[in-house]
A and B are shown apart, each in its own frame.
Chain A
Amino acid sequence: ETGVTQTPRHLVMGMTNKKSLKCEQHLGHNAMYWYKQSAKKPLELMFVYSLEERVENNSVPSRFSPECPNSSHLFLHLHTLQPEDSALYLCASSQEGTGGNPDTQYFGPGTRLTVL
C-alpha cells in the first residue's frame, strides 16, 4: 500500500537541530493527520487538517509545528526537541463527508524519530 508516503523513514537529531517530516497522500483525500506512537501508549493524535485548515491541536508543544500547503502534503516541523519526543510519527489521511460510510483513515509507514 503506497497511498500515504512519509519521509524520512528514520531520523536521528540533536536537541538543537531543526528538521521536518514530510507526508504525501496519493488517495485524493481532503483530511490529513499527525499521530505520535510511543511504546506501550495509545496513539496520540497531534494535529488534524481538514480542507487544508487545522481543526484540532491536542495541546501539542510548540516545538512541533505543522504545515499543510495543499490537500496532498503535510509537514511536521521540529525544533529544539527533547529526548522524550523520540517516537514513531505516523501520518494518515481520510476523505471526509462520504455520507454513511466511515471516513476511514489510511496510514503511512511512519518516521522513526530519535532525539539525542
Chain B
Amino acid sequence: GEDVEQSLFLSVREGDSSVINCTYTDSSSTYLYWYKQEPGAGLQLLTYIFSNMDMKQDQRLTVLLNKKDKHLSLRIADTQTGDSAIYFCAESDRTGANNLFFGTGTRLTVIP
C-alpha cells in the first residue's frame, strides 16, 4: 500500500526558515497536502499541490514537489513561535480525497 514518511522532529530558531520533508511511494498520487495540528486541536489544511506542479507559494509557505523522487517539502519562512505544531504530509491518488494517506507527522519546535 501507499507509504508516506516524515522525520518526527525538527527544531528551528525564531526568524529562521523551516523545511519539513516528506517522501511517498505512490506514483499515482494526484494531490499532496500539508496539514498542521496544534496542541489539542484537529488538523488544519495549510496548502495542497497538484502533482503536475513543481512549486506553490502562499505567503510564508512554499511547497516544492519533486515527482521523480517522490519528495515533497514545506518551507516556512521567518518561522514564528506560533508555527510550533505537528505538520502532516498526506497524499491522495485521485481527485476525491476518500483515500487520503498521512505520514506520521513532524513536530516542529520553534525556539525563541
Distance between Cα atoms of A28 and B105 in the complex (Å): 29
Residue of B nearest to A4 (CB): B42
**A104 and B45 form a contact (CB under 8 A):** yes
Q: How many residues of B contact A (CB 8 A)?
A: 26
What DSSP secondary structure best describes chain A's contact surface?
loop
What string of 1s and 0s marks CB contacts (under 8 Å) between A84-116 and chain B? Answer: 000000101010111111111111111000000
Work out how many contacts link A and B, with CB atoms closer than 8 A: 62
| Interface size of A as a range | 20 to 34
B58 CB to nearest chain A CB (Å)? 14
The CB with the most chain A CB atoms within 10 A, among B42, B95, B101, is that of: B42
B47 CB to nearest chain A CB (Å)? 10
- Given contacts A43-B88, A102-B31, A106-B45, are A96 and B96 in contact (CB under 8 A)? yes
**B103 and A42 form a contact (CB under 8 A):** yes
The answer to whether B80 has its CB under 8 Å from any CB of chain A is no
